[in-house]
Structure 1
Amino acid sequence: MPRFSDVLVLTVFFLHACSSSSQLFYNDCAPTSYVCGGTSFTIGYPFLVDGRHDYCGHPKFYLSCSSSNDTNSLSVAISNKNFHVTSIDYGNRLLYLVDTDFAGQSCPQPFVNTTIDTNLFRVSDRCANLTLFINCTASSSPIPAIYDITCLSNTNGQHSYYRLDNGTMDDVLGRCSSTVVVPMAQDTATRMVNGELGFGKALREGFSVNWLPGMGWCSKCVSYEGRCGFNSSAPGDHTCFCFDGAFIDSCYSRTNLGTGKPSDRWKSILGICAGAASFITGCFFITLWYHSHKKEVMDAERVEAIIKKHGSLALRSYTYSDVKKITKSFREKLGQGGYGTVFKGKLFDGHLVAVKVLGESKGDGEDFINEVATIGQTSHVNVVTLRGFCVQGSKRALIYDFMPNGSLEKYIFLENTTATTTETTLSWEKLYEIATGIARGLEYLHRGCNARIVHFDIKPHNILLDQDLCPKISDFGMAKLCPRKGSIVSVEGMRGTIGYIAPEVFSRAFGTVSSKSDVYSYGMVLLEMFGGKRKKSSRLDSASDTYFPNWIYQHIDQSESLMAYGVTNESEEIVRKMMIVGFWCIQTMPEDRPSMSRVVDMLEGSIQELSIPPKPCLSSPFDLIVGSCATSSVYIE
């Protein structure tokens, strides 16, 4: 019987050897940036490109950088036909494609049906089928529900048509030389039918396909900081590469050790390491590891479950060591709050980021889970992009795109109106653009993304501005997912920031909590763009003992000029419009507030189309808490 110390020495030796070879695969298969035709693509499993190891992607998902019309573009071959790749969405497993036959043609004519290898792809549910009727003989009888393709008409009096379904029409087929079916994005098809988009441009916008339905194992692998890979000898042809070995599904599923080789040059090394490590450590190391890492395993399993249900494969998992390197050991601090501290950093590819290092987890770490689960599946110009996260032991960090202009807060709560900084020079027109961008971002969260999201903490501090002053909604720690076909959410207790919280979040006597709670918070932000930005005006100071929305309401329908509050004649209409919309948004009862889609329409429409809303029950947050606005007629949930 060998002594414990001898076994430990052997274990350390073999684990070191295995770890060294395993880390090679792990490092090789990290998502990489690949530039083609001036466009940068993130390449991860299951895709392969030149220069990427064959065990890091599936051989049937090879992307090539090819030349077409003197322009390089990323392309993929599907069913013996080439398509340009315009974008890759790993979170939703979507590949955005354009038929290469349509490139450079102002009026392309599809000659054959678009066919997709259903073993690898399927046309996504975001697409519609476009049926084309080519070279049809004119007829005096009208053809219902069909649209003319004027650019394909010829001098022989023949016309071509399209319609949005897969069906055929006998009265058309008998007069047409051919019919062709091609997929098209739903929104593109709608704009084409409405006359907002020409036929040729619509075809060149392309469509999207989902890849490989059986990718649940990869979500599990990534959630445990592994890297997905291909292994023809393993069950399911896949492998999860980890720092300490190659496993079937997960870096924490030690019983599912992969037996196949990912590459011939490492076959013997992996075989020896796997066998030796399994034999030597079988008696004590798994137990020792389990006890010493029990909390980390439980935390990782929790994050895995969330990412598998809601998250995104595009999110990269970083180690705490990576976070320290990205932030240069937390050298440059951008801000600090109850949630933790934000540091400026730079990813390994040079991309600037803001790294939010969370403080000690409270309870079960709900804020961290919420943020990964919600923002991890969003993609919108007015929502901040989450690049990755770190969960290692008690360490938690979130990595976002860096916003060089900080938060909206510093632009509307000015302390020095005589300063010459950028903040004091924002015009009302620019503030109006920012307000409209925030509204579009909230509309997307409420209606447009994969799962409807209620933010619950909309305030100027959580609106970040990029280099072009484009607003980005941030900080999803309090957010909640709601049903796809509804907007009512179940919440316990109160969440949000005093001054922006809707009445129903304080008390269900005011109604149910829903996306309309975000509408209320947005309305308060709109009003603060006037009340906060112009608070140094002497006339506004004289009313400082009045709750500022009350003061603003007195001016929305009066004929007096707002010049005394820093508003020019040219800007007065948009300022009054913002104030009117703001008061519609902060109506006391949720059902009286507009949706964010309606808010966008109101902001972009004419002020003459807006009516003055009823004066809401306007009180300070403290008055609202103690119930001064409550009446006997409110709905009780």
Structure 2
Amino acid sequence: MNIFMGVPTFQNLLFIFFFFLFTISGKTDGAGPAGPDDECKPIRCKHNGPVIRFPFRLRDRQPTHCGYPGFELSCTADKENSTVLELPRSVKLLVKNINYKNQQIQVYDPNMCFLRQILNLNISASPFQFPFIYELESFIIFNCSSGYDYYYGLISCLSNHDYKIIAKPYKTETSYWELSSCKKMLDIPSVPDFIIYDYNQNIPTSLEWSKPMCAKCEAQGMECVLDRNSSLATQTKCLYIPKHSTSAGKSRKLVITGIILCSFLLVLVGIGIYRLHSTNKIEKENRQKIEKFLQDYRDLKPTRYSYADIKRITNQFKEKLGQGGYGTVFKGRISNDVIVAVKILNNFKGHGDEFINEVGSMGTIHHVNVARLVGFCADGEQRALVYEFLSNGSLEKYIFSADGLGQRQSHSLGYDKLQDIALGIAKGIDYLHQGCDQRIIHLDIKPHNVLLDQNFIPKISDFGTAKLCSKEQSAVSMTAARGTMGYIAPEVLSRNFGNVSHKSDVYSFGMLLLEIVGGRKNIDVNVDNTSQVYYPEWVYKHLNKEEDPGMGIVEEGQFKIIKKLIIVGLWCIQWYPVNRPSMNKVVRMLEGDENDLVMPPNPFASADSSKRSSTALKRPMHSALEIISESD
């Protein structure tokens, strides 16, 4: 009986039985074909490569009737044995995956330079097109001299020391680009914008096809093949498996089927007796795995606590960590190993929206640079939020000195660690903008809302003012200005500057970044020199003239970090959202070399200054700022 151990269920035994019956009954005696040609059966270039079947065929290994016209694939001759899709004008792309259900194929350039392929691609001459979910945009390709040093649009894989190739979106104004040393090469119409730039060259691109439509055949359990009897070369049909057999063949099958049935019944009786007297070890292990998974899954989602639980966790609110406008924070302990910070919200009726925003946005976020919401309390009139405990507190106490003059105390962090913290904050904001199912716009990025763990890894917190929107939205609606003065983007205060969007967080991050560098509030009326009251404008003037930005005596390596952080911060606080980089680009700027960065346009140029650069956007007068009042 040991030979039957490991057969877990009666259903599996029935499957084996009917599999044998199907195998025998599916055979023929030469009277006709049993199904599609064997030469057209699914195939791969390598064991873990994508499955190749109709409408695709493998060139040189399958005849033409095995595939639909224009759907030829091939295998590379190297040791990788990759799958290749060839498109018009000799464009060859490697295939990562084929989704026959959604009729999409994922491809990428083997040399990580998709734009080189796009220059030759005539997508309209192929049976494929870009999926409708992609945002298509037209670009103009320029060939610029080697002295061209503008940051935007550079295509590194097409450039060398003799010339530089840049891509400019067709819809952007040419006046914002320095193109005097450039020559237009060609136009690229209607392509996804993300495949143009360097940082996306290793990401597979999806193409889809609309013909042939084989979904009906597959829904009926049939094979979709070319109709070789049709006068049309592209006509398809659904193929079923015919049953042809002679009387003698049927009799032979009945005898074999009877033998198998008797054998199966004997085995079934033996298995039944064995299972009555044995414990199903496999089933037990499976149940344990499921229980463990469910427990782990519950641990990933915030837990709802009662107010009695909150009092127990905080030991009757014994240890107070701090107090703010929205509530008081206490230290708590869920278990010996899990220490938390519990924020008791004041006046929950007035802050219901903040509570919903906090739980709704943070409940599904799991990122190393975003504070984790462990749980919440909504018990009667009591509201509380339970966060992971971050032992080093907020970033604010490490960057602002007591006298406000920008001289850091001896216990503060060095510039190397501050650069790591700035990069971590940028990655956290980029995750909120691009990594979640819905885009989360924080709208209150400031040092007080950045917490540091025991290793000084930054984590963004306090989502009470956050807005959720789809990634396709270019703007969000607001009935009142949100955030903290000094960090609020201009468009949040007045629509004269544009619409509120994820670029508003970029502005706030830029102001935070300049405070990290300066070690002081950006607006400080206590400084000795009145020209230093507004630090961003003061440091821009000094850095633009290649003067000391006022950091004191620092090493050369530290000065490079200071210069990089200042330039990135000044790019982020451009007055108009369209001139600010995305957080994804900010991350790449912080990770890159400071020598690759260029000074941004002056964001502080007044409308009547004739000495400013002609490319700098003008800053509207303060009288145009009109605070929008809350209406709901």
Give the TM-score normalised by the residue count of structure 1.
0.50
The structure number with the bigger radius of gyration is: 2
